[in-house]
Amino acid sequence: MKSKREVHVRKRKDGLYEIRYSINGVQKSIYGTTALICREKYGKMLNSHKIVKRVKSTLFSTWYDNYVSTYKKGVVKPNTLNNMNGIFRKYVLPEFNKKTLKQITSADVQQLINKMSNIPRQANIMFQYVKSCFEQAKKLRLIEYNPCDACFIKKYTSVKGKALTLEEENKLIDYLEKNNPKIKNLIYLYLSTGMRRNELLSVEYKDLDFEKNEISVNGTKTKNSIRTIQVKPSVLNLFPKKEKPFDDWNKFMVNRHFKKICDDLGFSGISIHSLRHTFATRCIQSGIPPIVVQSWLGHSNISLTLDTYTHVDEDYKRDALELLNYKFIPK
């Protein structure tokens, strides 16, 4: 392609000015009402072409860093950004680190999806992050097509969480009272507040109102997760009396300690999040209005509360049957 200095500007019969040039053998033209405008347009085109050419030869890892700092940081929530960076570091960058944007094909992405087939939830999250990353590159014309468009991934359907039955809950409480593990008060708080794992760990002592018997929850998942939970006075006494009650815990420690208890009790399919399901279920079983439970859990709509976080066991259904009375059915 000719340089800006060598370019020839000609005046057409219709009064417009034109610069003719070729890229990869393809003839193209730039038009303007003056020769100066033509040259300015031509200069911008040259700079754009150089930038695209340079970025196309840039390593994927370099583009990813630019993508995050320019289009994600300060836009998405910190937890989402941390999750995205974690997935890229663990699964994506080891596969694409030495390849340029232009070199990565649909087959490469599909191979990564297939490698993660045993962890379908993470695979789906990874795929959405990678697809978005490539889509932004495509919009900027750094690549001609998004390699994710030709990939196939089986949609992940989340399994409904499990709540403790009354029998399991009683077994858990007996175990905690007998063994008095370090995690005991945390478990009682999860059972009595329905807070998410990280919400409880991030509660500060100033968030506790001992006059109104309330906990201010500064949730980060949705705008509805920022809420106030009303509790009984004894619940507030479960918090250690320090500025950050659970600063010596993290999510991995909570999971590890609770898993050991579940293993000791022989519980299957139970996680720390099951205590949130258990709280919601006990609330509904106790006759607390669903709209109140929705507020305590920090849900955006009541259907999520009823469809996902409430469970009905067989004993509860049998007890409920006793509430039905028909004149035509003898007692």
pLDDT digits (tens, 9 = 90+) for 288-305: 888 888 888 887 777 766
287: left (phi over 0), alpha (psi -120 to 50) or beta: left
Is the pLDDT assigned to residue 4 strictly greater than 50?
no
Burial of 323 (0-12, 13-18, 19+ CB in 10 A): exposed
pLDDT tens, residue by residue, 101-158? 989 999 999 999 999 999 998 999 999 999 999 999 999 888 889 999 999 998 877 6
pLDDT, greater one: 141 or 241: 241
Is the pLDDT assigned to residue 326 strictly greater than 80?
no
Question: What pLDDT, on a 0 to 100 scale, did the predictor assign at position 312?
Answer: 60
Is the pLDDT assigned to residue 164 strictly greater than 50?
yes
Domain end position, chosen among 104, 126, 150 = 150
Question: What pLDDT, on a 0 to 100 scale, did the predictor assign at position 170?
Answer: 94
Question: What pLDDT, on a 0 to 100 scale, did the predictor assign at position 39?
Answer: 86
Question: What pLDDT, on a 0 to 100 scale, did the predictor assign at position 266?
Answer: 95
Looking at the structure, do residues 183 and 130 belong to the same domain, yes or no?
A: no
CATH (domain of 69): 1.10.150.130
* The two structure tokens encoding residue 163: 């709540």
Residue tagged 């009064």 (tokens): 15
* 129: nearest Cα among 66, 83, 178, 172: 83
* The two structure tokens encoding residue 282: 């006990």
In a domain, 137, yes or no: yes
Looking at the structure, do residues 185 and 316 belong to the same domain, yes or no?
A: yes
| 3-state SS class at 257 | helix
Candidate from 3-17, 188-202, 263-277, 316-330 with smallest mean pLDDT: 316-330
Q: Which amino acid is at 4?
A: K
Looking at the structure, do residues 17 and 145 belong to the same domain, yes or no?
A: no
Question: What pLDDT, on a 0 to 100 scale, did the predictor assign at position 3?
Answer: 46
Question: Binning pLDDT at 50, 70 and 90, where does residue 67 land?
Answer: very high
Strand partners, 18: 10, 31
Separation between Cα atoms, residue 180 and residue 174, nearest integer Å: 10
* 167: nearest Cα among 315, 60, 288: 315
In a domain, 158, yes or no: no
State the average pLDDT over residues 241-256: 92
Question: What pLDDT, on a 0 to 100 scale, did the predictor assign at position 41?
Answer: 86
Question: Binning pLDDT at 50, 70 and 90, where does residue 220 land?
Answer: low
Looking at the structure, do residues 196 and 284 belong to the same domain, yes or no?
A: yes
Question: What pLDDT, on a 0 to 100 scale, did the predictor assign at position 134?
Answer: 95
Main-chain dihedrals φ then ψ at residue 85, nearest 5 degrees = -60, -40
State the average pLDDT over residues 93-98: 90
Domain end position, chosen among 120, 150, 180 = 150
Question: Binning pLDDT at 50, 70 and 90, where does residue 24 land?
Answer: low
Question: What pLDDT, on a 0 to 100 scale, did the predictor assign at position 191?
Answer: 94
Based on DSSP, count helices (H) and strands (E) in the chain, helices before strands. Answer: 15, 6
Q: Are 72 and 81 in contact (CB under 8 A)?
A: yes
Looking at the structure, do residues 178 and 98 belong to the same domain, yes or no?
A: no
Q: Which amino acid is at 299?
A: H
For 76-219, strand residue ranges (E) read 208-209, 214-218
Looking at the structure, do residues 126 and 259 belong to the same domain, yes or no?
A: no
Residue tagged 């001992």 (tokens): 210
Alpha carbon distances (Å) from 247 to 94, 198, 202, 258, 285: 33, 11, 8, 17, 34
pLDDT tens, residue by residue, 34-62? 988 888 888 887 766 654 555 456 889 99
pTM: 0.59
Separation between Cα atoms, residue 25 and residue 157, nearest integer Å: 50
* 59: nearest Cα among 97, 87, 104: 97
In a domain, 301, yes or no: yes
pLDDT, greater one: 8 or 153: 153
The number of folded domains in the chain is 3
Is the pLDDT assigned to residue 235 strictly greater than 90?
yes
Looking at the structure, do residues 196 and 285 belong to the same domain, yes or no?
A: yes
Question: What pLDDT, on a 0 to 100 scale, did the predictor assign at position 242?
Answer: 93
Looking at the structure, do residues 83 and 175 belong to the same domain, yes or no?
A: no
* The two structure tokens encoding residue 126: 């990874």
Looking at the structure, do residues 209 and 131 belong to the same domain, yes or no?
A: no
For the chain, strand residue ranges (E) read 9-11, 17-23, 26-32, 208-209, 214-218, 226-230
Looking at the structure, do residues 146 and 173 belong to the same domain, yes or no?
A: no
pLDDT, greater one: 151 or 328: 151
For residue 36, the enclosing domain spans 9-50
User: Mean pLDDT, the chain, as a whole number?
Assistant: 85
Looking at the structure, do residues 182 and 276 belong to the same domain, yes or no?
A: yes
CATH (domain of 213): 1.10.443.10
Looking at the structure, do residues 132 and 170 belong to the same domain, yes or no?
A: no
